[in-house]
């Protein structure tokens, strides 16, 4: 971690401080159609009103605002909300329907209050925004800083995924490196329990400092920019903050339904025969799975970027993918943004001016392979065409694994800074390679696969990348309990940063770069616990070194049974999960939810790193400590502490037992049990047992109602893999539970789609300790209802 960003780089040649910001007073201001432009005695300030609850603040010490098209914010804000501007002796006050934005005449610091004048956020009066001259890697830059007051009772979340960071989930009181490189990411989005979010629209390497001035302030420092540029977003709910953020930066499109089933991956399958044998073993053993993944070096003995599946090992790749499809399994292939010199794709890209000078020391061959320029629209188009013609389109792969997209050149970040992209200097675009690379992939996928939804598994993500159909995975983590434990807060914070889809390698990727022995008790226990967590991650995916497929003989009979149970649970929850995925696209929702989404005003939740809500109903508390593979395991109590947030009742998913909120309990956690608690008032739809996600319609549909509070749920269904939902081709059914009346209202179905069930059966259970628990189907529902699409009111 750098103590000060501009002292972190050894190649600094000089450092010149510009005039102190406190002297940057307002000399005049002008109301414009979209906000207010302030002339300062040292630079300019622009407050742009984007919506009633979203404001952009730009500050520069240059005499003009330099042109900076945003790579992150895609909303053009064509409809400007009504706002007013008032002035007194000390301040200029901009008022929207939801906010006061107050600018100090003396210091140009900005304060945000609600309409009752309650302060939401304030910039620091003495050092609110600044630009400081520096030289980094021999490049003249301005360090750009924004600093804010932070009350002691505030908690802060987000900032992306940092896979090896095992610190608290709460960024209050700690710092974070915000430079994208191997094994650490950066999404410059921060959410506060005070009800606001911040998006910093800067693409250079940056740092977040969360404990300034006795933990009363935080600041964000970017090493290069021509202005301070950030967006303030008022919620106050986290859901509204994230929805507003996605409205600014692009909504997440729907994934195909199959992508919410199990991904089977390994480093690595080495032949067509091996891929098909994995398919057969899953299907013959009746183990649910939806995707098998071809990892890297399928090209060997050719080199990376050749876009060749070596024919001696893959004699007919198209037939291989067709065989997967016949078994209702999808295929994902790993294709990298790097090329070895001498390949046809490299020569085409190089001769057309599409290569960069950024090199990767290939971990397998130790050749220096080259990155293409993802910031060039022309290069992105050529890259797509090469991969589509040679691999993705030619063989009809269903998904794309986007590896190595930092770009990764080891620890020599100065060479990345010194590089030049089509858009500008490398130092100014250190963090946006994955954003622009995935932009090219998604835009072209939509053109060349118009009726097939995109799915990109990607190693890095930046702000706005959710619009490119990407799932962020947490990179090359180790097969250790420490790494597993760190995944939970990292997944939560990644999703709190606006990326709705996140996953980890279940079991970890490597153990000292080798395969662990999965037959040992320690590793079996580790994989079992990680698999349970994976079943309640947005994307459910096995990957890493060593065979760990669910049919593997590395697992004993008991382990296999536990793994299959959670695989079955994931598939039975498919109606619940797929409906939540629609909420992501339609409402800007978040599935893997920091407790602050739903319990922001409960102070006890603020620093819990290993609990989260999975959708509207499930409180998930993964077990991250060894209980069975220690020498004294017989004496270890098989429980874990679980805090049940206040203001609601909770029901144990496995037993139906009721608990009051606002207490910490010793939750039962034997090896077969992931502690799961359901919020009172939840309605959870559960479908039949499946071998793959689209095997059959969810009919009959089991509706589990968790009483003691009112609740609702909207079931969403469509064609599963087309973009016709964007044209309104889908159907929803809303369920409303009135706990006082003991009444369920099933609303009239809205919409339709080809293949929709017109008539269906709902089996309704009011959950208690005797029924509606665990994975198994409930044999004796409270009511069985035949539904024809019209409203029904059901009394219990």
Nearest Cα neighbor of 729 from 696, 759, 754 is 754
Length of the chain equals: 796
**Residue 530 DSSP SS3:** helix
Quick check: 16 pLDDT over 80?
A: no
For the chain, give the percent of residues with pLDDT over 90: 95
Helix, strand, coil abundance in the chain, percent, nearest 5: 25, 30, 45
* pLDDT, position 164: 85
* pLDDT, position 250: 98
Range 425-432 average pLDDT: 98
Range 579-600 average pLDDT: 98
Cα angle for residues 318, 323, 326 (degrees, 5° grid):
125
Range 507-520 average pLDDT: 97
* pLDDT, position 2: 37
* pLDDT, position 1: 40
- pLDDT tier for residue 12 given thresholds of 50, 70 and 90: very low
C-alpha gyration radius of the chain: 27
* pLDDT, position 167: 67
* pLDDT, position 521: 97
Quick check: 7 pLDDT over 60?
A: no
- pLDDT tier for residue 19 given thresholds of 50, 70 and 90: very low
* pLDDT, position 166: 67
* pLDDT, position 51: 98
For the chain, give the percent of residues with pLDDT over 70: 97
Burial of 301 (0-12, 13-18, 19+ CB in 10 A): exposed
Quick check: 300 pLDDT over 90?
A: yes
Average pLDDT score over the chain: 96
Query: What confidence tens digit (pLDDT) does each residue in 148-184 have?
Result: 999 999 999 999 999 888 668 999 999 999 999 999 9
Q: How many CB atoms lie within 10 A of CB 168?
A: 15
Query: What confidence tens digit (pLDDT) does each residue in 453-485 have?
Result: 999 999 999 999 999 999 999 999 999 999 999
- To the nearest 10 degrees (0 to 180), the angle between helices 344-351 and 377-387 is 160
- pLDDT tier for residue 6 given thresholds of 50, 70 and 90: very low
* pLDDT, position 372: 98
- pLDDT tier for residue 23 given thresholds of 50, 70 and 90: low
Query: What confidence tens digit (pLDDT) does each residue in 105-117 have?
Result: 999 999 999 999 9
Q: What span, in angstroms and rounded, lies between the C-alpha atoms of 507 and 522?
A: 12
**Residue 468 DSSP SS3:** helix
Range 288-306 average pLDDT: 97
Which positions are annotated as active-site residues?
A: 403, 406, 476
- pLDDT tier for residue 8 given thresholds of 50, 70 and 90: very low
* pLDDT, position 509: 98
Quick check: 18 pLDDT over 70?
A: no
Query: What confidence tens digit (pLDDT) does each residue in 619-648 have?
Result: 999 999 999 999 999 999 999 999 999 999
Range 331-351 average pLDDT: 97
């Amino acid at each position: 971690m750098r103590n000060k960003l501009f002292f972190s780089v050894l190649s600094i040649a000089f450092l010149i401080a510009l005039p102190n910001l406190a002297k940057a007073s307002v000399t005049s201001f002008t109301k414009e159609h979209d906000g207010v432009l302030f002339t300062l005695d040292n630079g300019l300030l622009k407050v742009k009103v984007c919506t009633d609850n979203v404001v952009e603040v730009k500050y520069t010490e240059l005499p003009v605002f330099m042109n900076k098209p945003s790579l992150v914010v895609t909303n053009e804000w064509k409809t400007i909300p009504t706002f007013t501007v008032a002035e007194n002796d000390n301040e200029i006050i901009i008022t929207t329907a939801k906010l006061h934005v107050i600018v100090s005449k003396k210091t140009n610091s900005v304060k945000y209050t609600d309409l009752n004048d309650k302060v939401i956020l304030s910039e620091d009066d003495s050092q609110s925004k600044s630009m400081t001259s520096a030289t980094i890697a021999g490049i003249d830059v301005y360090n750009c800083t924004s600093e804010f007051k932070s009350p002691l009772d505030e908690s802060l979340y987000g900032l992306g995924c940092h896979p090896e960071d095992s610190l608290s989930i709460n960024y209050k009181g700690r710092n974070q490196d915000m430079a994208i490189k191997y094994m650490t990411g950066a999404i410059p989005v921060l959410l506060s329990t005070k009800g606001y979010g911040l998006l910093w629209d800067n693409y250079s390497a940056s740092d977040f400092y969360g404990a300034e001035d006795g933990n009363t302030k935080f600041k964000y420092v970017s090493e290069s920019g021509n202005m301070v540029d950030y967006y303030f977003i008022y919620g106050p709910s986290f859901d509204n903050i994230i929805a507003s953020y996605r409205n600014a930066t692009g909504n997440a499109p729907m994934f195909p339904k199959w992508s919410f089933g199990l991904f089977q991956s390994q480093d690595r399958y080495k032949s067509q025969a091996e891929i098909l044998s994995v398919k057969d073993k899953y299907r013959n053993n009746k183990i649910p799975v939806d995707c098998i993944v071809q990892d890297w070096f399928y090209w060997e003995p050719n080199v990376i970027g050749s876009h060749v599946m070596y024919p001696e090992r893959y004699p007919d790749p198209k037939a291989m993918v067709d065989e997967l499809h016949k078994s209702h399994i999808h295929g994902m292939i790993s294709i990298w943004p790097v090329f070895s010199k001498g390949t046809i794709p490299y020569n085409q890209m190089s001769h057309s001016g599409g290569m960069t000078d950024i090199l990767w020391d290939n971990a397998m061959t130790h050749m220096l392979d080259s990155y293409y320029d993802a910031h060039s629209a022309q290069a992105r188009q050529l890259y797509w065409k090469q991969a589509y013609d040679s691999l993705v389109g030619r063989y009809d792969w269903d998904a794309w694994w986007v590896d190595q997209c930092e770009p990764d050149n080891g620890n020599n970040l100065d060479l990345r800074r010194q590089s030049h992209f089509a858009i500008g200097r490398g130092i100014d675009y250190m963090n946006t390679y994955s954003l622009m690379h995935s932009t090219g992939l998604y835009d072209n996928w939509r053109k060349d696969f118009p009726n097939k939804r995109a799915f990109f598994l990607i190693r890095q993500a930046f702000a706005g990348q959710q619009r490119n159909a990407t799932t962020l995975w947490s990179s090359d983590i180790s097969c250790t309990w420490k790494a597993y434990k760190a995944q939970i807060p990292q997944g939560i914070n990644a999703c709190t940063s606006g990326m709705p889809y996140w996953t980890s390698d279940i079991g970890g990727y490597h153990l000292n770069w080798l395969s662990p022995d999965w037959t040992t008790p320690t590793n079996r226990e580790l994989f079992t616990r990680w698999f349970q967590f994976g079943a309640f991650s947005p994307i459910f995916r096995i990957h890493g070194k060593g065979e760990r497929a669910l049919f593997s003989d590395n697992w004993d009979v008991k382990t296999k049974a536990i793994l299959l149970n959670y695989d079955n649970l994931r598939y039975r929850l498919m109606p619940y999960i797929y409906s939540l995925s629609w909420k992501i696209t339609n409402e800007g929702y978040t599935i893997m939810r920091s407790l602050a989404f739903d319990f922001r005003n409960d102070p006890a939740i603020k620093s819990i790193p290993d609990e989260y809500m999975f959708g509207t109903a499930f409180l998930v508390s993964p077990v991250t400590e060894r209980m069975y593979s220690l020498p004294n395991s017989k004496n270890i109590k098989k429980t874990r502490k679980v805090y049940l947030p206040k203001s609601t009742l909770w029901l144990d998913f496995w037993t139906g037992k009721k608990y009051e909120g606002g207490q910490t309990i010793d939750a039962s956690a034997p090896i077969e049990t992931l502690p799961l608690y359901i919020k009172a008032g939840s309605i959870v739809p559960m479908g039949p047992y499946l071998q793959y996600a689209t095997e059959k319609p969810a009919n009959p549909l089991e509706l589990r109602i968790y009483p003691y509070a009112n609740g609702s749920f909207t079931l969403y269904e469509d064609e599963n893999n087309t973009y016709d939902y964007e044209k309104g081709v889908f159907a929803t059914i809303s369920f409303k539970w009135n706990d006082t009346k003991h009444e369920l209202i099933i609303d009239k179905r809205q919409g339709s789609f080809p293949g929709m069930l017109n008539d269906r059966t709902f089996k309704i259970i009011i959950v208690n300790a005797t029924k509606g628990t665990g994975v198994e189907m409930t044999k004796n529902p409270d009511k069985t209802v035949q539904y024809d699409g019209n409203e029904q009111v059901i009394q219990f």
